[in-house]
């Protein structure tokens, strides 16, 4: 590993006599492996805990996550340990007993969004946004595993959220950056690094924050983070926000060995067991009374993109869910979507602004007198507990995930949830002498299963 000369000079200036240790850790190239457990599907996976995150665990070595059915079931998320400090920041500066409206602006691949959902109560909800189409698909696949329905997925530019003025209590911006903190495991980021790229990233980060600023409520919290070391993309950005008079800096200081606390919290791999990371929190100043949610102008006709589900179908859908606390809509793809009744007004408010948003839980498609359930529903925490289930071994689960032929329904007819260690991984439909595997083709295991 040959570090870029200008990067090396900057880090030597920043770290002083610590620099040789920093460089040796980077050149060693072996990053710690960590996961964050799903508190709603709790199986305590891992051994050593991450000091700043109760659900975080270090693994002694990197396994093949693809060949672990629990990974596909959403029992945990593979996440770099330093970035888990987000949870500590949220717990410290927001009242998690309240119903919060949260925006994760740059959400893919889903680490921070799933972390946020682990903290929010049922009266809160998350808008998980990703503008890049390919990354949006990955985000949604990862978030579906988490099993919660109080989330809306959007693909919007930051400035578009100005259509929701003062709407969010918390906005998380894990900004696109020069990626210096990932050099140890991402040589491509190192090869693409330049001082010009750092400057370009800083300008883009400033623009993103300016664009999304109006969507944050007065008194709301902005959390800003990057996976880079330089001051231009970190402290300087935060200083601009405080100097604008629109924000006050919130303290993140805590008793965590190796974490550098100044303007924010900084993680450097020779001092903490994780990758390079910076995070800061600010509160928006202002005393304007929060506006009541209402439609922006004339509401779009529901049948253009969203149609109410006909009354005679609603009992069918409710049979698939654990309680009656949902409202149902059909989306433009003919899928039935459910989302929590008590969050209906907020969901519709978002749909007024972004009609192509993906809210709530996709149940599936209405076929004949029944429902063809979606993969979302197989992983959902809202699935009815009396749904027929088939518990399988690890070998059977892997064969199911690879869509290899097997006969799990044993001659029975109907829909069955395939589970491993009591966690759903997908659907089979028994047809008597055969069965259909409904695990999504784009997610199937393509590795050789030994």
Residues forming the active site: 227
- What's the farthest any 2 CA atoms get from each other in the chain? 73
CA angle 423, 362, 347 (to 5 degrees): 120
Q: Evaluate whether 59 touches 34 at the Cβ level (below 8 Å).
A: yes
139, 130 contact by CB (below 8 A):
yes
Assess contact for 341 and 326: CB atoms under 8 A. Answer: yes
DSSP designation for 321: B
Structure token pair of residue 239: 């200083």
Give the integer Cα–Cα distance in Å for 149 and 144.
9
Question: How buried is residue 361: exposed, middle or buried, by Cβ count under 10 Å (0-12/13-18/19+)?
Answer: buried
Burial class, 392, CB count within 10 angstroms (exposed 0-12 / middle 13-18 / buried 19+) = buried
Residue 147 sits at the vertex; the CA angle it makes with 145 and 152, to the nearest 5 degrees, is: 95
Record the tokens describing residue 242, joined without a space: 């405080």
- Where do we find the tokens 């179908």? 313
C-alpha to C-alpha distances, 165 to 97, 210, 218, 287, 303, nearest whole angstrom: 23, 13, 10, 14, 27
Q: What is the dihedral of CA 130, 131, 135, 137, to 10 degrees?
A: 80
Residue written as token pair 């006050």: 248
Q: Locate the DSSP E strands across 120-215.
A: 125-129, 151-154, 168-174
């Amino acid at each position: 590993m040959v570090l870029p000369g200008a990067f090396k000079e900057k880090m030597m200036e920043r770290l002083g006599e610590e620099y040789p240790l920093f460089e040796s850790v980077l050149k060693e190239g072996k990053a710690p492996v960590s996961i964050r457990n799903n508190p709603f599907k709790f199986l305590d996976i891992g051994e050593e805990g991450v000091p700043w995150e109760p659900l975080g665990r270090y693994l002694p070595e990197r396994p093949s996550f693809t060949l672990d059915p629990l990974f596909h079931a959403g029992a945990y998320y593979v996440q770099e340990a330093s970035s888990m400090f987000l949870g500590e920041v949220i717990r410290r500066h927001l009242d998690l007993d309240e119903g919060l409206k949260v925006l994760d602006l740059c959400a893919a691949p889903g680490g921070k969004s799933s972390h946020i959902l682990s903290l929010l109560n049922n009266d809160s909800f998350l808008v998980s946004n990703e503008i890049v189409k390919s990354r949006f698909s990955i985000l949604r696949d990862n978030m579906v595993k988490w099993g919660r329905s109080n989330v809306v997925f959007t693909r919007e530019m930051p400035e578009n959220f100005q259509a929701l003025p003062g709407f969010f209590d918390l906005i998380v911006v894990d900004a696109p950056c020069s990626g210096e903190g990932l050099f140890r495991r991402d040589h491509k980021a190192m090869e693409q690094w330049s001082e010009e790229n750092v400057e370009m990233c800083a300008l883009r980060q400033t623009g993103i924050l300016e664009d999304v600023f109006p969507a944050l409520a007065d008194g709301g919290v902005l959390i800003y983070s990057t996976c880079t070391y330089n001051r231009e993309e970190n402290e300087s950005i935060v200083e601009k926000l405080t100097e604008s008079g629109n924000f006050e800096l919130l303290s993140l200081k805590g008793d965590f060995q190796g974490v550098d606390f100044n303007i924010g919290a900084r993680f450097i791999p020779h001092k903490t067991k994780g990758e390079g990371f910076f995070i800061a929190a600010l509160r928006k100043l202002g005393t304007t009374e929060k506006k009541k949610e209402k439609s922006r102008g004339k509401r779009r006709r529901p049948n253009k993109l969203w149609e109410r589900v006909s009354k005679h179908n609603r009992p069918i859908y409710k049979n698939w869910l654990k309680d009656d606390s949902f409202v149902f809509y059909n989306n433009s793809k003919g899928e039935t979507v459910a989302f929590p009744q008590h969050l209906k007004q907020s969901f519709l408010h978002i749909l007024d602004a972004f009609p192509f948003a993906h809210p709530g839980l996709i149940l599936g498609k209405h076929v004949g007198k029944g429902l063809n359930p979606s993969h979302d529903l197989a992983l959902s925490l809202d699935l009815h507990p009396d749904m027929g289930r088939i518990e399988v071994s690890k070998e059977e689960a892997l064969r199911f995930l690879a869509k290899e032929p097997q006969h799990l329904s044993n001659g029975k007819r109907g829909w069955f949830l395939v589970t491993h260690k009591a966690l759903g991984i997908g659907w089979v439909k028994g047809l008597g002498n055969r069965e259909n595997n409904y695990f999504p083709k784009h997610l199937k295991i393509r590795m050789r299963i030994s």
